[in-house]
Structure 1
Amino acid sequence: MHAGRLLNVLILAAFAVLETCGYTEILCQPLQKPQNGVFSVRQCMSQPSVRMICAVICYPGYVVQGQASVVCKNDGTWSGTPGYCRDNQSPIIRHETSNIIVNAALDSNQAVVNWEQDKPRVIDNSRKVPSVRLYIGGREIKGGGYEHTFKIGLTTVKYVFTDDSGNSADFFFRVEVRDVQPPTITCPKVDPVVSPDREVDVSWVQPTVTDNSGKPVRVISNMSPGKLYRGRYKVVYEARDEAGNRASCSFTLHVRPPKCPDLHTPINGAVSCDTFGFGMFCTLQCQNPYDFDLPAGMTSVPNYYACGGGGRWFPSTQVPDCTRYQNPNGSFVRTLYYDNECPDPRAQKQIKENGVSSFKMSPFGSSCNCGLTVDDFRVICGATNTSAVRAPDNQSPIISHQTSDITVNAALDSNQAVVNWEQDKPRVTDNSGKVPSVRLYISGREIKGGGYEHTFKIGVTTVKYVFTDDSGNSADFIFRVDVRDVQPPTITCPKVDPVVSTNREVDVSWVQPTVTDNSGKPVTVISNFSPGKFYWGRYKVVYDARDEAGNRASCSFTLNVEPPKCPDLHTPINGALSCDTFGFGMFCTLQCQNPYDFDLPTGMTSVPNYYVCGGGGRWAPTTQVPDCTRYQNRNEYLVRTLYYDYKCPDPRAQKQIKENTVSIFQETPFGWLCNCNVTVENFRVICGATNTSAVRGTPGSK
């Protein structure tokens, strides 16, 4: 007789003997399946037998409330009432809204911000949608929504999600509304100020300044109302708001004395006076080869004549004539002489050029800071006389080329730069024919030895040259060196080991990044996460560093917060183990290769559809793993997803094993809560050893 049939006959015979002897099996009342959980033994809900222990196993996110297990007693009653599964898991935030940076609306101190395309996504193990509370700047916003108005500045937005059991989770992001619009500044219209005094009290209406931010605006000016000397001034106002946006306006201020009488025009010479101002600035010039014939009491010819506040010329009203010849051994101020006869167009041009040069080298030219040309001067020619005398040197050196302003970048990893301007060095001549002495000043400090190469710190530095001839006449000019910081800070994030805890919410801390900057100045550092409480999961922590020049750098690291690792499950003989790779390897299934089946050990009534590693580092519902060491009984119902064809290493078997696991996962509470598109790529396979022996049956047994 076939071994399987013989076994069935023996079992039937045994039940017949028991019935003859009056034996009746004692059963307890079947238990109702606990909501959000299962019993450790399926028979607890169908035919619970005497001494059967029924333990309540809750789905992830739930804990047993009440009696964790009950026993079917010998009299057919339960040892107590089984507990129920209470929800103790906070909602899971699947996606957090990123920090938002926007510009304020035009002429406004705020911006409308919408994050519907980046709205948060949250799920709960109860499969119900948690309630939502929205806080902006610490104030709860009724009605929530994804579009709100934010003022200029940095505002914290916080979401709080709460499930029906009162468990809550929250996160926050920041909205930065930047002010990029410069202030509006309007300068006044100022009429000329006429006074006989050289120094005059001058006042004007301050500019009108407004800013879209509504906050105070800092206004600075190169000049303030008060005492001013005669001249033409360009008054510049600059407005700067709290965000650093700038705007400026300017106006020209004329401070002039009453008109002076016309100067005497020198014989054999000419007078050149300005036309751009008040005709207050004039120079005397002689036609070559004539020179100034100084009257008694006059020791030198003024470089220029200026009309004084009392309507008189200074430094003198005396105007010498060019009624003597030049001394060929003497020195001459070039700007006091011209070639050709005065009416000649060439002479007219030279006389005006001399007038421009004299003006620029005067205090009036230094304060005017205006681009004068020959068109800003007129010429009055004197009569001709061939008599002549000689005059001393009173002309300053002539700077024919000035070094231009220089802009360079600071050296790598340095707060300074070496600057060389030898290719653009100044050029100077003197009427004496000798080379003037040179003094170099950097930031007001004289540099002995001069030179054309020096080291400058980050920022703007003023460089000044002063040239002096043997007669003590001097000329000077300045240029500026701007050393810019273009190198971003250096930021190094810490190496953070995984945080392992049995609690789903863990206090996590880490060492802050190390930040340095070549400028040596403070660096602003912000991050998307701060040390504190974290749920199990993977987090990308990003730090952003910004120096005073606006250069930026960032670093990041991955923070893993995970439960303790469970011990490796036994891999069934003639079977395989398939576990997830997308989480922490906490979800596994057992499968047998056809035609093998699970050989259940004593006390094990069925094979779990799946094994889950709990937060305490233990497998549920059991640690027992049966081997596939018996042949399948074709009369028994087989769960398709627990079996596969081909040998385990075969790629076809690998694919089938993973597909079975995907199907099982999707039908579990984990699959429902995950709400994720899990594929075979998210699982791995561990093959068991091969053994052709079987405990019961033969292939194809009934």
Structure 2
Amino acid sequence: VISANRVDLSLDQKDAFTYKTFQGEAKLSSYTGGVSGVTSTFYFYAGQPFSAPSTLYLNLSFVSGTGSLDCTTLYDGSSTAPPGCQPSDLGSSPSENGNPYYISLGPLTTGVKYSFSITGLTNEATSGLSSTQAIKIGKYTSGGVFEPWNTATLAAWTLIDNQNPTFSGCPSDISVNTAAGTNTQVATWTPPTASDNLAVTSVTNSHSPGDTFTFGTTQVTYTAYDASLNQATCSFNVIVSDIEPPTFTCPGNMGGPGDLVDTDPGMPTAVVSWTLPVATDNVPGGITVVAVPARGSSFTIGTTTVTYTVSDSSNNVFTCNFQVTVSDREAPVITCPPNQALNNDAGQPSASTTWSLPTTSDNSGSSPSLSSSPAVTSPHAFNVGSTAVVYTATDGSGNSATCTFTVTVSDVEAPVITCPANINSPTDPGLAIAVVFWNPPVSSDNVAVVSLTPSPVGPSSSFSLGTTTVTYTALDAAANARTCSFTVTVVDQEAPVLTCNTGGVILNTDPGQAFAAVNYAAAGLTVTAVDNVGVVGSPVASPPSNTQFAVGSHNVVYTVLDSAGNTGTVSCSFTVQDIENPTVSCPAPVTQNSDAGLPTATVTWTVPAANDNTAVATLTSSFNPGAAFPVGTTTVIYNVTDIYGNLASCSFDVTVSDNEIPVVSCPANIVQSTDTGLPTAVVSWSVAVATDNLGVASEVESIASGTVFSVGITSVTRTAIDVTGLVATCTFTVNV
């Protein structure tokens, strides 16, 4: 920092303004001689208010260069830029390497600390100022000449180094852990770098990278000095932490196979002790060892985990555990109730009874669990026979003890049996016996029916006509018995069976009749009768033989009785058919001319009569009387059908002749003069076309219309011929 000298400016006598205590200070961003890019920062106070525009004049020997005005980098936080300060307000003399410098100012106010900086300068001073620095405030004339309002000289400034060196890269606190099994650790770091505005003369340090540090916190300090004995320090801590837990080995598990720890006699616990282990740590002293539960405690039945917690002075904790298993091998004590003998309960295969549970006790102090085989609880129904109930008392460790009592139940109750109802059965088809089936009797017993025996026979046996008694006996396992009976009555309900010896007989009507008188024996309509017991008499037919039957299907019913009065019938079928054709007679052939002007002739005749032994169904013909027949011969056919489809037919011919000639027309006689200048004339005419009742085959003229005719009379003939060859003509004359 350049020690600030107050600058007092005396008023120029020709100026009316008085500036008292016009003062200021300046500082540089670097005090190394010849360094470029230096910033010089100024502040000043105006002695009194001044509203007119003015110019600040600076002639500085400690810097050079044109520089740039910076209105934002100020001397300190209490200063402010001159009013309206702009970078363009700075002027300088290039010929003098920047000096002097001109700064345009706006209105100034008393008591305000104005500040600005000039950047981009070169420092020309290293120790102090050898000459006074000119500073003026005034204005430029219209001719471009600076006219100061007052002038002051800045006394020589002395360069004093009161700036301490600085450190960069000062390490942060370093934390390391002790090396395994020791209470120390080596710490390394990058040393900080010291610098100074002039020069660093020496750097000292309390510790160096790679030193070994003991457990705890050690401060490392670096100190830098310059030639003026200004100093700076850099300090940080090396913290050596102990994160290594103590070393400790727990005892092995106790109470395993081959090393059982039993409960103390009659007790639910065991007092257990073991050899105390020794703990060590990398940092001596301050070790505590705690066991939960403690050695010599009473351990309950089962497995208990003993946990050792070992901690050192850094609260590093090591834990380990082992298990103590206390085994209960002492069996419970159990006493059963007395044995029981009972009869079965009425209608039951068992007897219900009650008993008291066995009494139990155990060294564990807990009540043992109680189970039985079979699994029964009081009250309980015991089946007939002897049942041994075994009770087992089991403590929480699985030790068990048993006791037994017996319940004997006797069966004194006979079975219950219900026979089927009496059975009435018809004989089997075609037999004089019946195989009768029934469901065996319903039988039950409080225990079980061991046998159910029928007498004389069982279901699906053959029974003769009449009544038979069947008896069933039910027996249980205790030889208690009971019987029931029912009857089986076999009756003949089977009718005789009749069979037609011939089926589907077809008979024709009697000649000329609409019926057939049928003799059953002659026609083969006989029957055969059979019965499981036997028939009485011969079959009787209805209707009787020689009855007249119309055309169609018919049945004869035969009836016969057996010795039990059962009636048997059979219906024998036969058919009467009509195969006799009807009769019809046609009229004689007919010959006739065509009707006048028509190609046909209307012909009539008498319709023939048809007859049949049953009845005529239809009489049809290809033509009916009064029909129009064409020229030529036409056959008329009559067909007759009876009601059963028998057919007959007859026919006759109708011949129609054409004796009518065509009708031909001629024009009137024609008289015509010769054509102009010619001895002839072209003559044309028109006439109607020839007609005929059948049709004109051809029509010709001896001379055609439009022909050239010579002078004189010429005859022209027109000729028409019909399709049957009949000819007609007419004639007219042409007179030229």
Query: How high is the TM-score relative to the length of structure 1?
Result: 0.27
Structure with a larger share of its residues in strand: 2
Query: How high is the TM-score relative to the length of structure 2?
Result: 0.26
Larger radius of gyration: 2
